[in-house]
Amino acid sequence: MCGPDPGELSAFLGEHTPFQTMSDGELAELAAHSSVVFVDRGEVIADYATQVPDEVWMVYSGHVALQAADGSTVDVVEPGGIFGYTPLLTGGGMEFVARATEPSTLIRLPGDGVRAQFAKPAGLAYLASSAWSPLPRERPTLVPVADGRPVGDLVTGAALVVAPDVSVRDAVVQMTERHVSYALIGLPDGEFGIFTDRDLRTRVVAAGLSVDVPITRVMSAPARRVTADLTAETVLMQMLESGLRHMPVTTTRGEILGVIEEADLLAASARQSFVLRRSIGLAADAAELQTAARRVTHVASALFRSGLNATATSSILSIVIDGVVRRALELAIDEAPDTPASGFAWLTLGSIARREAMPSSDVDSALSWRDELTPAAERLRAVARRTHAILDGCGLPSDSNGAIAASPNFSRSQSDWAAAARRWLEDPLVDKGIVLSSLLLDGRVVWGDAALHTVPAAYRRMRAEHPNALRLQRLDALSGRVRTRSLRDVLSRRGGTFDLKSHAVTPIVNLARWGGLVADVASASTPARLVAAADSGALTERDAATLGEVFAMLQRLRMAHQVEQLDAGQRPGDVVTMSELSPLNRSLLNDGLREIAAVQRRLGNAGIAAV
């Protein structure tokens, strides 16, 4: 196998931190004393728990996972990245293993040459930007708790705030002294900018800028921030979805309390969701994506077992699945060069779209494109078929009822979707209007222009403009009766099975969707729709709160059941054997089903006039 020649090796080193500032002669000398190593998938490159290294490794091609002693992945090194420098400089004491996740080409760099480079300004800046999260972590980590702990309770220590006229050098010195990986910059207008370790690597060192430039030149402003009253899990969702690793926390008056970092919110198991999303985004082909994505349900199980509640676990699982879907679609587009690369949107439907995914969730999808792309409809559907084929290999099966973007029913132009929505509103019983509209109302754009999802806009004034269609939605929501009689029989003999999704969760989801439509809220999560339904009077506050509590309980039962199935090597599903539930869970389930039936009964007795 041929690797880079000395000239290519020298050029590659000079393109990446912390070697950009080296002269051509210095790069040539470093390359001459370096060697190229080829490793197979799964091969251990270095075990830093058993050795004090005298070299540093750079990834030339492929990817390397840095794994803690328990086998969990704490980081993924991509081409141009280096590893092993911290144990080299500290003389060991770092318990992690570097393992190739695919066939990879590595550069073994001599320790003496690397030590000399790290003593220079660029090397020191690189160390300052990357040394805050060595293995193992220096501080304890927390898991967001199910009791709604506010994120303000997790803030430790005052925020590092620097003046806008300081240099990057001065800011990095203060960051190093405070052992934090960010600096906030107070701006004249009362806003704040933020400068992080990532900015130092990408905007300063990699860009070849001097560390004496003003920090305002390389900061991000205004910094996104959250108020201290938000729950830790809510902030976790925002950070995961946006890819941020730092979040300033303020009082309701806008005063900075501190900055929450990834480690403040996450245990090692939860951090895997960030690392996994990165691996998914870096997947070079379908096989690599499928290898990474097979860890999705494992991460969800680890999150739930570590104490994260079912609601937050479902949200994180949904966000990670979104990343898999996006990357699968991008790979499918790359494989079909004659397919338009823009002008259309991919919609995820169902529980994943509502951020309520379970390990058993399949992938429902739809496509919407600009009208001028209609001649390319079949090519777009072919891409959808390929996308779902990739997802199938990722362990994310397509919807068994055919609600996928490859079907003409679920792939239309934006005008056709809008026209279909009008037809469904005028006569919901034609063209499966109630079923299709329910699926599309749950839809969320995960790739492409969100404005191409035209169905929800047609439903936002349903109460005023289409009362008859709303009544039918209500009747449909009430048709999913809870099977209380059969359940009583099951409970009396503590045997039989029960489908938690079909016979308990779905009735709540449907009632919440109808209640949201009464409140002119089209697309939202089930809990958010229940709140909106109470605000609009569609449901009483008591009924909405009760359904919300029962929904959370059912999601917990479903997640616990499916995690147990995964641990046993079984395919996860929603059918539980009643005799295997604890007495407490049987009682909670029975009480919850009675509450759902009672709400349905009250709505049914109220009659259509109640709308």
Residue closest to 386 by CA, chosen among 403, 374, 398: 398
Residue closest to 22 by CA, chosen among 113, 127, 109, 129: 113
User: Span 476-491, mean pLDDT?
Assistant: 63
Using a pLDDT cut of 90, give the percent of the chain over it.
Answer: 40
Write the Ramachandran bin of 5: left for phi over 0, alpha for psi from -120 to 50, otherwise beta.
beta
Q: Which two tokens stand for residue 190?
A: 């009362």
Q: Which of 98, 119, 140 finishes a domain?
A: 119
Bigger pLDDT: 352 or 484? 352
* Residue 83 binned pLDDT confidence (cut-offs 50, 70, 90): confident
What H or E segment, with its residue span, contains residue 293? helix 286-293
Question: Do residue 160 and residue 251 come from a single domain?
Answer: yes
What pLDDT, on the 0 to 100 scale, is given for residue 422?
92
Question: Do residue 61 and residue 38 come from a single domain?
Answer: yes
User: Span 4-16, mean pLDDT?
Assistant: 86
Q: Is 98 helix (H, G, I), strand (E, B) or coil?
A: strand
What is the rounded distance in angstroms from the CA atom of residue 203 to the CA atom of residue 437?
Answer: 46
Question: Is pLDDT above 60 for 224?
Answer: yes
Strand partners, 192: 186
Q: What are phi and psi of 285, to 5 degrees?
A: -155, 180
Q: Is 150 helix (H, G, I), strand (E, B) or coil?
A: strand
* Residue 235 binned pLDDT confidence (cut-offs 50, 70, 90): confident
Residue 133 in domain: no
User: Span 317-345, mean pLDDT?
Assistant: 92
Question: Do residue 111 and residue 172 come from a single domain?
Answer: no
What pLDDT, on the 0 to 100 scale, is given for residue 143?
43
What pLDDT, on the 0 to 100 scale, is given for residue 121?
58
Residue closest to 232 by CA, chosen among 215, 210, 220, 249: 249
DSSP state of 55: E
Question: Is pLDDT above 50 for 609?
Answer: no
Q: Which two tokens stand for residue 271?
A: 């951090």
Residue 540 in domain: yes
Residue 100 in domain: yes
Q: Is 370 helix (H, G, I), strand (E, B) or coil?
A: coil
pTM given for the model: 0.69
User: Span 387-392, mean pLDDT?
Assistant: 96
* Residue 139 binned pLDDT confidence (cut-offs 50, 70, 90): very low
What pLDDT, on the 0 to 100 scale, is given for residue 391?
96
Question: Do residue 477 and residue 441 come from a single domain?
Answer: no
Strand partners, 38: 105
Euclidean distance between the first and final Cα of the chain, in Å?
Answer: 72
Pair type for strands 161-162 and 182-186: parallel
Q: Is 465 helix (H, G, I), strand (E, B) or coil?
A: helix
Residue with tokens 């830093």: 48
Q: Which two tokens stand for residue 13?
A: 């080193």
What pLDDT, on the 0 to 100 scale, is given for residue 127?
59
Q: Which two tokens stand for residue 161?
A: 């705030």
What pLDDT, on the 0 to 100 scale, is given for residue 58?
92
* Residue 1 binned pLDDT confidence (cut-offs 50, 70, 90): low
Question: Do residue 481 and residue 510 come from a single domain?
Answer: yes
What pLDDT, on the 0 to 100 scale, is given for residue 119?
61
Residue 340 has a CB neighbour count (10 Å cut-off) of: 16
Question: Is pLDDT above 70 for 594?
Answer: yes
Question: Do residue 347 and residue 429 come from a single domain?
Answer: yes
Question: Is pLDDT above 60 for 217?
Answer: yes
Question: Do residue 454 and residue 475 come from a single domain?
Answer: no
Among 19-28, 115-124, 354-363, 506-515, the range scoring the smallest mean pLDDT is 115-124
Which range, 78-82, 151-155, 387-391, is most confident?
387-391
Among 94-103, 211-220, 450-459, the range scoring the smallest mean pLDDT is 94-103
What pLDDT, on the 0 to 100 scale, is given for residue 311?
87
Q: Is 75 helix (H, G, I), strand (E, B) or coil?
A: strand
Question: Do residue 452 and residue 572 come from a single domain?
Answer: no
* Residue 142 binned pLDDT confidence (cut-offs 50, 70, 90): very low
* Residue 356 binned pLDDT confidence (cut-offs 50, 70, 90): very high
Residue 129 in domain: no
For residue 227, give the CATH number of its domain.
Answer: 3.10.580.10
Question: Is pLDDT above 70 for 550?
Answer: yes
* Residue 485 binned pLDDT confidence (cut-offs 50, 70, 90): very low
For residue 90, give the CATH number of its domain.
Answer: 2.60.120.10
10 Å CB burial of residue 351 (0-12, 13-18, 19+) is buried
Query: For 267-314, what is each residue's pLDDT tens digit?
Result: 444 556 667 777 788 788 999 899 888 888 887 887 787 777 888 889
Among 257-261, 273-277, 599-603, the range scoring the smallest mean pLDDT is 273-277
Residue closest to 446 by CA, chosen among 382, 365, 370: 365
For residue 337, give the CATH number of its domain.
Answer: 3.30.460.10
What pLDDT, on the 0 to 100 scale, is given for residue 173?
83
Residue 382 in domain: yes
Q: Which of 70, 95, 119 finishes a domain?
A: 119
Residue 557 in domain: yes
* Residue 543 binned pLDDT confidence (cut-offs 50, 70, 90): very high
Q: CA quadruple 139, 144, 147, 149: dihedral positive or negative?
A: positive
Residue 238 in domain: no
Question: Do residue 308 and residue 435 come from a single domain?
Answer: yes
What is the rounded distance in angstroms from the CA atom of residue 485 to the CA atom of residue 353?
Answer: 32
What pLDDT, on the 0 to 100 scale, is given for residue 133?
42
What is the rounded distance in angstroms from the CA atom of residue 78 to the CA atom of residue 448?
Answer: 26
Q: Which domain holds residue 310?
A: 268-458
User: 195-228 b/e with 16+ CB inside 10 Å = b?
Assistant: bbbbbbbebbbbeeeebeeebbebbbeebebbbb
User: Span 244-271, mean pLDDT?
Assistant: 74
Bigger pLDDT: 73 or 597? 597
DSSP state of 204: I
Q: Which of 429, 458, 487 finishes a domain?
A: 458
What pLDDT, on the 0 to 100 scale, is given for residue 262?
67
What pLDDT, on the 0 to 100 scale, is given for residue 120?
65
Residue 1 in domain: no
What is the rounded distance in angstroms from the CA atom of residue 480 to the CA atom of residue 8?
Answer: 66
* Residue 514 binned pLDDT confidence (cut-offs 50, 70, 90): very high
For residue 593, give the CATH number of its domain.
Answer: 1.20.120
Question: What are the DSSP E strand ranges found in 325-382?
Answer: 344-349, 364-369
Bigger pLDDT: 10 or 272? 10
Q: CA quadruple 483, 485, 490, 492: dihedral positive or negative?
A: positive
Among 330-339, 345-354, 405-414, 574-583, the range scoring the smallest mean pLDDT is 574-583
What pLDDT, on the 0 to 100 scale, is given for residue 460?
85
User: Span 481-503, mean pLDDT?
Assistant: 66
Query: For 440-465, what is each residue's pLDDT tens digit?
Result: 999 999 999 999 999 998 998 888 88
Question: Do residue 68 and residue 162 come from a single domain?
Answer: no
What is the rounded distance in angstroms from the CA atom of residue 558 to the CA atom of residue 562?
Answer: 6
Question: Do residue 287 and residue 425 come from a single domain?
Answer: yes
Question: Is pLDDT above 50 for 134?
Answer: no
Tally of CA atoms within 13 A in the half-sphere of 397 that contains its CB: 11
The number of folded domains in the chain is: 4
DSSP state of 429: T
User: Span 239-263, mean pLDDT?
Assistant: 80
Residue with tokens 């701006």: 187
Question: Do residue 438 and residue 370 come from a single domain?
Answer: yes
User: Span 516-529, mean pLDDT?
Assistant: 90
What H or E segment, with its residue span, contains residue 31? helix 24-32
* Spatial contact of 238 and 115, defined as CB atoms under 8 Å apart: no
Question: Is pLDDT above 50 for 535?
Answer: yes
Strand partners, 77: 64
DSSP state of 210: -
